[in-house]
């Protein structure tokens, strides 16, 4: 049965900032004890990001008359300063924008692309074996960055302010610095070996005497400030054709990298149609390929829609069982069919069809887990097509933004561009270095995601917007590598099936299954009795660290409710 505390209405009393810095262990303890979680609440708009400084500057933008896109772009650049481990201008991502006034939902694809000199076997040795180190911690691991171009495109088409104004808070934070929180200190220390390998990274993340920053120290980034100033003065193309581009190309030339001035000058973001599905009367919009997230969110919801999830109960053995079985089948299809639709034919209509979900659901036995070895990619006809940062923003004029971007690993490749003050991504690892060989997140890829010049690598990023009766209802998404898709799925189910408020929905314990390895990964907080019942059904359970950080917003009857995920201690939801 669903605990009473999970069934309270959306107009629960306000307890602003409840989870601004709540450790996950305390959050899960509170869930188990039945403590009520209250979202941040507002009538004029909402911002939910993974860093309170970014939330504040985005809130200020809307308070001064800017719209949700203005605030999103401002937050995106601010996070590049305050969270260099994941916020970025050296990576790429995806943005969904929903405008109630035009009944339009669009997707901006600013995913990185493979350099023109990239080859299918570039990360294989002479014996044909994939070498993980090459695709993760070298200059060749970097794809052509898309963040600056993508954020600038969103602002140009859907915002109201200038790029210079959107960059101003980030420039100030980089120049003046900010007090480093515990998560920053622990992150740098945990990645010290990788960062110290490169002089440019040592200079960026450590003091002149080589010592690490401590909690409360002021962290300044003069080189990044200078880069952002150039972009503010000369426009987004400065990053791709000006001094910053020259710094990137020179960094590559010094260390056998592949990105050239021509690669940078040729980069363009794309506006795409989002993946779309329905679930219990709600319209689900999520990112389309080269993200796999939207297709498989819709696919899993289609499978689950015919089960009485609310009656089965939140995180009951039966609910987790059918969720895991749906997840297995979606990730099996991901391994075979998903890739960049500019290069490969993805059976998107088939994967997201209700009829295909009916076929997959017939394979599920309520009493017994299907071994992953017995699950193969299906035939979804017809064809047509762990460190990341997500933020959600909505204004009171019907505009909502869901944005997820990344440099892949925490601190990406660990390589800072000399003289430019930002880290290079290692997104080339998201290609299939060799079909059938798992990447760093254990995800299996096939020929659809092989390396090709100019191609966008497959992603799990899943910025999502749910509409109810034509109105923006839920804005969500998450970091977490392969766990992004399942994290986002559970936030949606917690709200729609289990009637949780948005703070409870993002705080509740999560599970994950990705087909291979054949195990249900769980967070702390799920009943031992439930886990035993799942094992009786044939599931293997692996309790591991917290998954994702789903900064989310719910809108109901003209009121905005913000949920800051406690899994990131700096997370913040702020209402206007």
Query: Residues within the annotated binding site?
Result: 111, 406-408, 430, 459-460, 481
Q: What does the block give as tokens for 456? A: 């966008």
Q: List the structure tokens of 206.
A: 């450590």
Gap between the Cα atoms of 448 and 290, Å rounded: 11
With residues binned 3-state (H G I as helix, E B as strand, rest as coil), the percentages for the chain, rounded to 5, are 40, 20, 45
* Residues 389 and 50 sit within 8 Å (Cβ to Cβ): yes
- The residue annotated as part of the active site, out of 113, 244, 352, 388, is 388
- What CA–CA distance (Å, rounded) separates 170 from 75? 8
Task: Tell me how far apart the alpha carbons of residues 478 and 493 are, in angstroms, rounded to a whole number.
Answer: 15
Could you give the C-alpha distances from 568 to 92, 396, 547, in angstroms and in order?
21, 27, 10
d(CA 321, CA 484): 19
CA–CA distances in Å: residue 458 to residues 50, 72, 113, 174, 196: 24, 24, 10, 31, 30
DSSP 36-85: PP--EEESSEEEEESSHHHHHHHHHHHHTT--HHHHHHHHHHHHHHH-TT
Half-sphere exposure at residue 266, Cβ-oriented, CA atoms within 13 angstroms: 14
Does residue 16 contact residue 546 with C-beta atoms inside 8 Å?
no
Q: 484-496 and 317-337 helices cross at what angle (nearest 10)?
A: 140
Q: Which residues pair with 456 in a beta bridge?
A: 113
CB-CB contact of 345 with 385 (8 Å): yes
Residue numbers belonging to the annotated binding site for L-glutamate: 111, 406-408, 430, 459-460, 481
Contact 547, 521 (CB under 8 A): yes
Clarify whether 388 is annotated catalytic.
yes
Interacting residues of 469 by C-beta distance below 8 A, sequence separation 6+:
none
* Pair 499, 6: CB distance under 8 Å: yes
Cβ-proximal residues to 544 (8 Å cutoff; 6+ apart), any chain: 521, 522, 523
CA dist 465 → 285, 301, 420, 434, 471 (Å): 5, 14, 34, 34, 10
Phi, psi of 550 (to 5 degrees): -90, 85
Let me know: does 137 contact 414? Beta carbons within 8 Å. Answer: yes
Instruction: Show the tokens assigned to 137.
Output: 């911690």
What span, in angstroms and rounded, lies between the C-alpha atoms of 480 and 482?
A: 6
d(CA 8, CA 501): 7
Residues catalogued as catalytic: 388
């Amino acid at each position: 049965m669903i605990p009473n505390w999970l069934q309270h209405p959306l107009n629960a009393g306000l307890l602003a900032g409840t989870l601004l810095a709540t450790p996950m262990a305390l959050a899960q303890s509170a869930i188990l004890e039945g403590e009520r979680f209250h979202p941040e609440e507002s009538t004029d708009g909402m911002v939910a990001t993974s860093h309170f400084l970014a939330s504040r500057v985005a809130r200020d933008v809307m308070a001064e008359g800017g719209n949700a896109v203005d605030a999103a772009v401002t937050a995106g650049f601010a996070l590049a300063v305050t969270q260099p481990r994941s916020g970025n201008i050296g990576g790429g991502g995806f943005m969904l924008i929903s405008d109630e006034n035009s009944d339009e939902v669009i997707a901006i694809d600013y995913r990185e692309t493979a350099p023109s000199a990239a080859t299918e076997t570039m990360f294989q040795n002479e014996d044909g074996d994939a070498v993980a180190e090459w695709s993760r911690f070298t200059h060749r691991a970097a794809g052509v960055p898309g963040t600056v171009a993508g954020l600038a495109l969103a602002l140009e088409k859907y915002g109201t302010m200038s790029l210079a104004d959107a960059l101003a808070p980030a420039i100030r934070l980089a120049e003046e610095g900010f007090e480093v929180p515990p998560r920053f200190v622990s992150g740098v220390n945990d990645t010290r070996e990788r960062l110290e390998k490169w002089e440019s990274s040592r200079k960026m993340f450590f003091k002149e005497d080589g010592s690490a920053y401590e909690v409360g120290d002021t962290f300044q980034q003069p080189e990044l400030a200078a880069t952002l100033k150039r972009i503010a003065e000369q426009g987004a193309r400065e990053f791709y054709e000006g001094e910053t581009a020259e710094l990137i190309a020179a960094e590559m030339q010094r260390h056998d990298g592949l990105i050239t001035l021509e690669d940078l000058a040729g980069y363009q973001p794309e506006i795409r149609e989002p993946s779309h599905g329905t679930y219990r009367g709600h319209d689900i919009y999520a990112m389309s390929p080269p993200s796999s997230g939207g297709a498989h969110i819709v696919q899993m919801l289609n499978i689950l829609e015919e089960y009485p999830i609310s009656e089965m109960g939140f995180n009951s053995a039966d609910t987790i069982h059918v969720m895991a079985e749906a997840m297995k089948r979606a990730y099996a299809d991901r391994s075979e069919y998903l890739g960049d639709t500019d290069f490969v034919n993805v059976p998107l209509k088939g994967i997201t069809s209700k009829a295909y979900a009916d076929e997959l659901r017939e394979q599920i036995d309520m009493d017994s887990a299907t071994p992953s070895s017995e699950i193969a990619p299906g035939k979804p006809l017809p064809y047509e097509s762990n460190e990341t940062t997500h933020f959600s923003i909505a204004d009171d004029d019907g505009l909502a933004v869901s944005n997820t971007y990344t440099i892949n690993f925490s601190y990406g490749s660990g390589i800072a561009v000399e003289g430019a003050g930002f880290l290079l991504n290692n997104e080339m690892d998201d290609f299939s270095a060799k079909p059938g060989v798992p990447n760093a997140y254990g995800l299996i890829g096939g020929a659809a995601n092989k390396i090709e010049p100019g191609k966008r690598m497959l992603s799990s990023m899943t910025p999502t917007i749910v509409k109810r009766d034509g109105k923006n209802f839920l804005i969500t998404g998450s970091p977490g590598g392969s766990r992004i898709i399942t994290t986002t799925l559970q936030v949606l189910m917690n709200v729609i099936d289990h009637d949780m408020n948005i703070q409870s929905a993002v705080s509740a314990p999560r599970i994950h299954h990705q087909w291979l390895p054949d195990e249900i990964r769980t967070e702390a907080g799920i009943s031992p009795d439930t886990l035993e019942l799942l094992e009786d059904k044939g599931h293997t359970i692996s309790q591991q660290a917290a998954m994702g950080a789903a900064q989310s917003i719910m809108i109901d009857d003209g009121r905005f409710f913000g949920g800051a995920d406690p899994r990131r201690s700096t997370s913040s939801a702020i209402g206007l």
